[in-house]
A and B are shown apart, each in its own frame.
With several copies, the nearest count.
Chain A
Amino acid sequence: MAMTLNDDQNMLRESARDFMASEAPVTHFRKFRDMGCKDGFSHGLWKQFAEMGFTGILIPEAEGGMGMGQIEAGIVLEEIGRNLSPSPFLTTSVAAVEALKLADKAMRDRWFPGILAGETVIGIAIEEGVKHRPEKIACVAERSGNGFKLTGHKQFVVQGTSSDMLIVAARTAGAVGETDGLTLFAVDKDAAGLSMEAARLVDSAMAAHVKLEGVQVNADAVIGDVDGGWAVLSKMLDAGRVGAAAEMVGVGTGAMDMTFDYLKTRKQFDRVIGEFQALQHRAAHLYGEMEGARSIVLKAQSLMDEGHAKAELYVAAAKAKAGLACNLAVREGVQMHGGIGMTDEYDIGLYMKRDRGLNEFFGDAYYHADRVATMNGY
């Protein structure tokens, strides 16, 4: 595949760019943040996403979606990132949809219509500690009656309390640390024994701490195969990771562009500060880092879309690189803005906060660099 966007993809980019800039720019984010919104996003905007067809971008055409791939999802995510548009797109339309595509027809029929309509939100309940460690899942699902009884806890379930369903990874066999023996479940938010406590995050997103105290689910709640959840989980995580990476390309590029504009207008010592060579070199270096991030993310997306054997390696590298580059962009952004960069009134600080959240999401740059090393055989 050529590493350039085709005409259709460019059109999608235009329309996503126009849509986010007009319907969900940073002022939209500020509005929902400042009202202390309990969801951390606008249900109205989520409906608009559906009208644009975004919510079903990865859902097969036969099931009412757009049947597109990670590249297209990433195009939308980049614009989300650039505008800090709050939405359940990454969790619901990217990660959850990728998991549900591996579920049976009944389950897909139950959830896809709501996603397509922009009415359903799905939470991803994987994390159990402060760092991403999917193979260390300890949450237990015991055989019970016609199904399973889930016991354990989850955290960092983004938009958990706004979700209609949680995808919960639990252990049906094997020991903590093993990838075999995991199973994924679709757990209704109203299930008895399920309780959630929402916490606002630094980037004003909401994330839930979830308790599962003997939550009973039927056998048809299983996504994929019992004990074989790792395959589904890996697919879901990789989609979430490459999606978060694409969003970080948007966040970083947004922060960078804002900063470069500032360098061209701000005066100090009777000169526009963009004339100072030390800042010019840092700007050029940053540009190179962001361009590199954009490239590896596109590469990872296209390998995933091809189903290439190396996709996992490139996704890890993409999540790591996008994290490092976006982090540099927001750090340079705040520093180059100087004092006003520290104020809540200016947007650059919001990008710094968002970067932090996305960097942690589904494993940070160091975690993924370590995976790259492992996959590369050392």
Chain B
Amino acid sequence: MSELETFRAEARAWLEENCPAEMRTPAKGDEDVCWGGRNFVFQSDAQKLWLERCVAKGYTVPDWPKAYGGAGLSPQETKVLRQEMAKLGCRSPLNSFGIWMLGPALLKFGTEEQKVHYMGQIARGEIRWCQGYSEPGSGSDLVSMQTFGEDKGDHWVVNGQKIWTSYADKADWIFCLVRTDKTNKYQGISFLLFDMQTPGVTTKPIKLISGNSPFCETFFDNVVVPKHQIVGELNRGWDVAKYLLGHEREMISGMGGDGGVTSIGAAMKAVLSEEPVLRAQMALFDVENLTFRAHGERFMDEWKTGKAHPAYSNLMKYVGTELNKKRNELVMSIGGTQALEWESERSNGGSKARNWLRTKANSIEGGTSEVMLNVVSKRILEMPGA
């Protein structure tokens, strides 16, 4: 048995012993997901136990180094662990922007103290993070941001406003882009971390067309941020942000594959068999969907071996999000009048319609499709012009 197969057997055994039965069923909705943090209320003892056990084993962030709260697994081992979790139907013990976004950035740009402190908190589910990038009036144009941190010797005093801060009303800390030099557009922004309970921080949820409010407006009024809470160099926050956006794009581009390679058409056979033109749309969509999955697979293989163009994730983000929007248009068409229902139990609280509306943001958040096409055209295709 290879080392990897030994690991697989061990992981399997550990999961079977430690993952509570309740945690082997799919989460019923967002409220059923463990996000951790100071204010998180566990939905069940099983949810709490599952988190604690994973934290102890380093399995909330299996591929992070042990020193920072992980299990120090190799990429192959991490993949095997996920496969085994999927086979048993184990839920993710902890969802977190800290894991997906801040952690990788800290690993690359943070000091050793920052890694131990912040990544440890993330790994243990103690602190829930949010991201402060966009500002009103600077959607795709991030470098035009106005939020300003005035240098006061050992700290900055931050004033300004962010928008599209995911779950800012539920987060404990924020990683935030703040202008620290007004004279340099690109190299005048710093990447700061601070507590959302710092005096002067307020949040206001934004109601979306889906009826949900996953985002906030966030206001900073003379917020004091100690100097050691910077990640990376002063005025080079853009480097950190770009690195992190790349991660976000990969994450979002994965969305095209919500339904994986399994066609949604089969389940809809009864409707499609009487709707020849709609069936044709579905057929052409399935061709695109199979294509995107293969494309994603190829991209990941090239990315891992360093063969992918550094801007290629922008292409995947574009293709994946446009595909996901198309998928949801088809889900609505096939769902017909029942998919129009917004509140009824029959429609699971309007889940199809709300998901459909939610996907319209895919091609806006994390870089619009237009910006992605600009980047592909200029950086990969090397088209001329500014």
Contacts and interface: CB of A to CB of B under 8 A. Distances in A.
A and B touch in the complex (CB under 8 A): yes
B284 A369 contact: yes
Given A201-B340, A281-B373, A285-B373, A373 B291 contact: no
Contacts of A285: 373
Nearest to A369: B283
Interface stretch (A102-110, A137-145, A221-229, A272-280): A272-280
Interface in A120-177: 127, 129-133, 155-156
Contacts of A372: 283, 286-287, 290
Contact of A366 (B263, B265, B278, B335): B278
Contacts of B374: 277, 280-281, 284
B363 A298 contact: no
A89 interface: no
B301 A4 contact: yes
A202 B350 contact: yes
Given A133-B274, A292-B295, A284 B381 contact: yes
A369 B294 contact: no
B340 A356 contact: yes
A370 interface: yes
Nearest to B137: A267
A365 B301 CA distance: 27
A356 B140 CA distance: 28
B376 A287 contact: yes
B287 A378 contact: no
Interface stretch (B7-15, B229-237, B364-372): B364-372
B380 A264 contact: no
B207 A284 contact: no
A2 B271 CA distance: 38
A376 B139 contact: no
Interface string B289-329: 01110110111011001010000000100110000010001
Interface stretch (B167-175, B243-251, B341-349): B341-349
A130 to B, nearest CB: 3
B164 interface: yes
A85 B315 CA distance: 31
B344 A199 contact: yes
Contacts of B140: 268-269, 338
A179 B265 CA distance: 25
Interface string A59-98: 0000000000000000000000000000000000000000
B336 interface: yes
B82 interface: no
B378 interface: yes
B166 to A, nearest CB: 12
Interface residues of A, number: 84
Nearest to A2: B301
A185 interface: no
Contacts of A133: 274
A373 B282 contact: yes
Given A4-B301, A360-B336, A378-B265, A342 B209 contact: yes
A345 B353 CA distance: 18
A148 B344 CA distance: 32
Contacts of B353: 202, 353, 356
B360 interface: yes
A49 B274 CA distance: 39
Nearest to A346: B209
Interface stretch (A16-24, A247-255, A314-322): A314-322
B64 to A, nearest CB: 25
Interface in A292-345: 292-296, 298-299, 313-314, 317, 320-321, 324, 327, 331, 334-335, 338-339, 341-345
Contacts of B356: 356
B337 interface: yes
A255 to B, nearest CB: 13
Contacts of B272: 373, 378
A338 B139 contact: yes
Given A130-B339, A281-B370, A292 B281 contact: no
A338 B361 CA distance: 8
Contact of B335 (A130, A207, A279, A298): A130
A193 interface: no
B360 A284 contact: no
B337 A296 contact: no
A10 B305 CA distance: 15
A204 B211 CA distance: 12
Contacts of B41: none
Given A3-B298, A324-B287, A338-B140, A360 B207 contact: no
A76 B109 CA distance: 45
Interface of A: 2-4, 127, 129-133, 155-156, 199-204, 207, 260, 263-264, 267-272, 274-281, 283-285, 287-288, 291-296, 298-299, 313-314, 317, 320-321, 324, 327, 331, 334-335, 338-339, 341-345, 349-350, 352-353, 356-357, 360, 364-370, 372-373, 376-378
21 contacts: A130-B336, A156-B340, A202-B340, A288-B315, A291-B295, A291-B315, A292-B294, A317-B286, A321-B287, A324-B287, A342-B361, A343-B209, A352-B357, A353-B357, A366-B281, A367-B278, A373-B265, A373-B272, A373-B280, A378-B265, A378-B269
Interface of B: 134, 137-141, 144, 163-164, 206-209, 211, 263, 265-266, 268-269, 271-284, 286-288, 290-292, 294-295, 297-299, 301-302, 305, 307, 315, 318-319, 325, 329, 332-333, 335-344, 346-347, 350, 353, 356-357, 360-361, 363-365, 368-370, 372-374, 376-378, 380-385
Given A199-B344, A284-B374, 11 more contacts: A130-B335, A130-B339, A131-B275, A280-B377, A281-B377, A335-B368, A342-B208, A342-B209, A343-B207, A360-B340, A369-B277
The 4 residue pairs across chains A and B that have the minimum distance between CB atoms: A349-B209, A130-B336, A275-B385, A377-B266
